[in-house]
């Protein structure tokens, strides 16, 4: 998405002038035959137009109707949110609801106004407390061999399970059609929910559904960071010894130990292989970046400059670099360095930068930036994305109030962030958008802050 | 002579006995009157006494015919008449040679679009059947080309490479109107590798941009079938 934007001068218009001929040769050694085909495009790159049919109810169970509605809605939203499809509006779908491949009339779906290149459809039945979903994905332009995907799911009959099944099916479709990148429909977002005088860590599905608390500590907990295997949650919590890094096991559903150090310890960040945690600690006097193992032991200091160093984040692709915020030159700026503290490089040229998040492919940094910081300065704090190699950046949010805490989705196509339209901290909501700044929408009500997208 | 005499007699008669005076309707004081005598009843002839029993002569209307209700005839008892059993010859039918038509419409396998040289289809069937990886296709007909079977995958390869081709990398003065063909392999996980220029365009920057376009792609998604395929991709830079 971003790479397309970045290269917009040579985008669709120019590509459309280029005829690209593709010849594929299956030539497995000498034993296999040489099948070949040839295809051509002269219209450039367009997203796949996909139709999501309402699934056919295969049982008359009254419960089915509600579950099926949940399923249909969730599947439609997942495919819409994926950001890679041109999804056909429900009103343009044919009247028929095929429930099985034999009932599918592809020509109906391939012609205008549907004009779908791909059709997702299937049957939905509930019996004996179980929901059975048969989902199919057909290539509407390949009448001879239309089937791309066929899946069957059997889960408990509940709203949550119906939603999860839709997420799983949507992820399968996205995985097949996006060229290998995983869908995010099954991912979670962890965030801070303020209420009752304290702040607790909450979790929700990527689409904002199923919001539920994780911690019940009765204090102020900040900056949740889920581990790459989704088993543990690191965060910073206010206790007797000030802010300390805490570790919460999602699997055990309880807190596990993490060695406390002196001073204020903030903003943990996971190494992509889950073996190390970087965080900011003032145990040696000045807030510096430290790295410890997931139990908090063997902590070592990485930075040693005057001025605060906070908000570290690992390069998720390599794990060999850390981006962080440093105040060594007065106002906080975005820096990157190797994870041993060498090769420090300043990324932002001014303003007030906070909360970096490194994109999963390592190419981009998202961060909150107030480029004209100071009294009476125009503009405000917005979300920016910078290409690490070139330091070129684009602004993703505009005039929507203060934005902070961007966090990349594991597919690198979405960014979740916190935004307050009126400037008050209590009005903070968690929002999501595509990584090019489009399709913004709020996921939570006010009082939600510091979102962190899970790794997968 | 005689005729003349007769005519003279008639004329003479008419002249002698001709009437004089007023005729009817002429002005006269005592015009002729008609006398009418009123009577109580006309003396009609007495009616003849008729026979009442006669149909034509009776004055009284004849009574309406009686409509009798239809009666349903009870069905005859099947055992009333014994039907003699016919002797029928046993019909000899030949056994059907044709098998039953398939329940589902079988897709027509694609016809090979090039001459087959010495390949044995049997080996291909076995191999391709084993190599089906997506687990969805109920494939029995394997004698098909990858592109027809998995057209969507070809489209993904096509668009992914096209997305990552930055045409500004090619020097326009040297590259316009030229085309280059690169060949690369896609392994089972969909990762391209071994990119090499098959047909150089003569413009080094165009060749390089084509190679880079493929190298930028991290993956196309796992192959739906087979453990690897080789792709030949031609880039052509049109004059603007």
Among B165, B126, B157, B175, residue whose Cα is nearest residue B229? B157
Helix (H/G/I), strand (E/B), else coil: B5 = helix
B2-59 per-position pLDDT tens digit: 888 899 898 888 888 776 665 666 565 555 565 555 555 555 556 666 666 666 666 6
At A50, list the tokens. Answer: 């996909």
- A44 in Cβ contact with B159 (< 8 Å): no
- For residue A302, give Cα distances in angstroms to A289, A312, A337: 6, 11, 10
**B168 vs A118: CB contact, 8 Å cut-off?**
no
Q: For residue B209, what is the enclosing H or E element?
A: helix B204-216
Query: For A26, which of B146, B161, B235 is closest by C-beta distance?
Result: B146
Query: For A179, which of B107, B219, B233 is closest by C-beta distance?
Result: B219
Q: For residue B240, what is the enclosing H or E element?
A: none
Contacting residues of A for B102, CB less than 8 Å apart: none
A31 touches chain B (CB under 8 A): yes
Q: Which residues pair with B230 in a beta bridge?
A: A25, B185
Q: For residue A407, what is the enclosing H or E element?
A: strand A402-408
At A41, list the tokens. Answer: 């495009």
Burial A181-220 (b: 16+ CB within 10 A, else e): bbbbbbbbbbbbbbeeeebbbbbbbbbbeebeebbebeeb
What's residue B45's pLDDT?
59
Q: How far is CA A58 from the centre of its chain?
A: 34
Distance (Å) from the alpha carbon of A186 to chain B's nearest alpha carbon: 19
A-B contacts at Cβ under 8 angstroms: 159
B57-91 per-position pLDDT tens digit: 666 777 788 888 888 888 878 777 777 788 888 88
Closest residue in B to A14 (Cα–Cα): B167
Torsion angle defined by CA atoms of residues A72, A76, A82 and A86, in that order, rounded to the nearest 10 degrees: 150
Using CB atoms and an 8 Å cut-off, which of residues 134-163 of chain A contact chain B? 139, 141-142, 144-145, 147-151
Query: For A20, which of B124, B152, B158 is closest by C-beta distance?
Result: B158
**A28 vs B165: CB contact, 8 Å cut-off?**
no
**A142 vs B156: CB contact, 8 Å cut-off?**
no
Distance (Å) from the alpha carbon of B145 to chain A's nearest alpha carbon: 5
Tell me the Cα Rg of chain B.
61
Q: For residue B193, what is the enclosing H or E element?
A: strand B192-199
Distance (Å) from the alpha carbon of B174 to chain A's nearest alpha carbon: 16
Contacting residues of A for B124, CB less than 8 Å apart: 32-33
Residue B116, pLDDT above cutoff 60: no
Query: For B162, which of A41, A142, A144 is closest by C-beta distance?
Result: A41
Length of chain A: 456
Among A226, A227, A228, A247, residue whose Cα is nearest residue A236? A247
Helix (H/G/I), strand (E/B), else coil: A309 = strand
**B228 vs A28: CB contact, 8 Å cut-off?**
yes
A112 touches chain B (CB under 8 A): no
Using CB atoms and an 8 Å cut-off, which of residues 71-110 of chain A contact chain B? 102
Q: How many CB atoms lie within 10 A of CB A330?
A: 8
- A437 in Cβ contact with A397 (< 8 Å): yes
What's residue B114's pLDDT?
57
Q: Which residues pair with A420 in a beta bridge?
A: A402
Contacting residues of A for B127, CB less than 8 Å apart: 28, 31-32
Distance (Å) from the alpha carbon of B100 to chain A's nearest alpha carbon: 19
What's residue B102's pLDDT?
66
A230 touches chain B (CB under 8 A): no
Q: Can you tell me the distance from the alpha carbon of A313 to that of A208, in angstroms, rounded to the nearest whole number?
A: 24
Strands A85-87 and A56-57, by their bridges, are unpaired
Query: For B158, which of A25, A39, A150 is closest by C-beta distance?
Result: A39
* Mean of pLDDT over chain B: 71
Q: Tell me, what's the ipTM?
A: 0.72
Closest residue in A to B138 (Cα–Cα): A147
The residue ranges of chain A whose pLDDT is under 50 are 1-44
Query: For B152, which of A25, A32, A148 is closest by C-beta distance?
Result: A148
B125-154 per-position pLDDT tens digit: 222 222 222 222 222 223 346 767 787 887
Q: How far is CA A158 from the centre of its chain?
A: 26
Closest residue in B to A177 (Cα–Cα): B156
Strands A448-453 and B179-187, by their bridges, are unpaired
What's residue A424's pLDDT?
86
What's residue B48's pLDDT?
61
Q: Can you tell me the distance from the alpha carbon of A292 to that of A242, in angstroms, rounded to the nearest whole number?
A: 19
- For residue A277, give Cα distances in angstroms to A166, A232, A301, A312: 34, 12, 12, 10
**A180 vs B219: CB contact, 8 Å cut-off?**
yes
- A252 in Cβ contact with A260 (< 8 Å): no
Closest residue in B to A38 (Cα–Cα): B147
């Amino acid at each position: 998405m971003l790479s397309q934007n970045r290269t917009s001068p040579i985008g669709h218009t120019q590509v459309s002038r280029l005829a690209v001929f593709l010849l594929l040769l299956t030539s497995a050694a000498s034993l296999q035959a040489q099948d070949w085909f040839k295809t051509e495009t002269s219209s450039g790159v367009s997203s796949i137009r996909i139709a999501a049919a309402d699934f056919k109810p295969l049982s008359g169970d009254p419960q089915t109707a509600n579950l099926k509605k949940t399923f249909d809605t969730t599947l439609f939203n997942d495919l819409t949110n994926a950001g890679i499809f041109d999804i056909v509006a429900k009103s343009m779908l044919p009247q028929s609801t095929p429930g099985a491949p034999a009932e599918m009339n592809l020509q109906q779906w391939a012609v205008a106004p549907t004009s779908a290149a791909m059709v997702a459809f299937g049957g939905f039945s509930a019996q004996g407390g179980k929901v059975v979903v048969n989902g199919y994905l057909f290539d509407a332009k390949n009448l001879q061999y239309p089937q791309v995907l066929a899946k069957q799911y059997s889960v408990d009959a509940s709203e949550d399970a119906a939603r999860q099944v839709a997420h799983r099916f949507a992820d399968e479709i996205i995985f097949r059609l996006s060229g290998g990148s995983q869908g995010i429909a099954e991912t979670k977002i962890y965030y801070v929910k303020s209420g009752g005088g304290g702040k607790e860590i909450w979790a929700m599905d990527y689409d904002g559904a199923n919001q539920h608390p994780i911690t019940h500590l009765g204090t102020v907990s900040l900056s949740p960071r889920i581990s790459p295997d989704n088993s543990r949650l690191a965060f910073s919590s206010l206790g007797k010894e000030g802010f300390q890094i805490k570790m919460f096991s999602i699997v055990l559903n309880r807190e596990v130990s993490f060695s406390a150090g002196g001073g204020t310890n903030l903003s943990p960040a996971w190494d992509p292989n889950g073996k190390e945690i970087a965080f900011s600690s003032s145990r040696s006097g000045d807030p510096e970046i430290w790295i410890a193992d997931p139990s908090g032991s063997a902590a070592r200091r990485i930075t040693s400059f005057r001025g605060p160093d906070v908000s570290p984040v690992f390069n998720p692709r390599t794990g060999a670099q850390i981006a962080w915020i440093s105040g060594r030159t007065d106002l906080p700026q975005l820096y990157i360095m190797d994870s041993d503290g060498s090769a420090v490089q300043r990324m932002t040229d001014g303003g007030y930068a906070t909360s970096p998040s490194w994109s999963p492919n390592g190419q981009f940094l998202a961060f909150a930036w107030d480029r004209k910081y100071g009294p009476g300065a125009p503009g405000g704090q917005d979300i920016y994305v910078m290409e690490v190699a070139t330091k070129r950046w684009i602004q993703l949010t505009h005039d929507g109030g203060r934005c902070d805490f961007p966090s990349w989705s594991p597919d690198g196509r979405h960014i979740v962030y916190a935004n307050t339209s009126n400037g008050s901290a209590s009005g903070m909501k968690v929002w999501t958008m595509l990584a090019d700044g489009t399709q913004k929408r709020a996921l939570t009500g006010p009082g939600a802050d510091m979102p962190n997208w899970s790794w997968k | 002579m005689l005729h003349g005499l007769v005519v003279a007699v008639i004329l003479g008669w008419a002249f002698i006995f001709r009437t004089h005076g007023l005729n009817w309707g002429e002005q006269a004081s005592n015009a002729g009157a008609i006398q009418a005598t009123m009577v109580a009843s006309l003396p009609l002839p007495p009616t003849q006494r008729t026979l009442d029993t006669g149909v034509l002569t009776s004055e009284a209307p004849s009574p309406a015919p009686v409509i009798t209700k239809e009666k349903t005839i009870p069905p005859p008892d099947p055992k009333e008449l014994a039907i003699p059993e016919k002797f029928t010859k046993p019909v000899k039918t030949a056994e059907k040679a044709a098998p039953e038509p398939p329940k589902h419409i079988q897709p027509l396998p694609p016809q090979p679009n090039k001459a087959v040289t010495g390949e044995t289809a049997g080996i291909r069937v076995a191999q391709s059947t084993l190599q089906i990886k997506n687990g969805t296709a109920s494939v029995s007909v394997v004698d098909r080309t990858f592109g027809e079977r998995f057209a969507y995958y070809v489209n993904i390869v096509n668009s992914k490479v096209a997305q990552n081709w930055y045409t500004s990398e090619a020097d326009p003065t040297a590259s316009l109107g030229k085309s280059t063909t690169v060949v690369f392999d896609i392994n089972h996980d969909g990762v391209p590798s071994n990119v090499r220029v098959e047909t150089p365009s003569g413009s080094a920057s165009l060749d390089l941009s084509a190679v880079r376009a493929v190298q930028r792609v991290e993956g196309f998604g796992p192959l739906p079938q087979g453990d690897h395929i080789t792709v030949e991709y031609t880039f052509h830079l049109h004059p603007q």
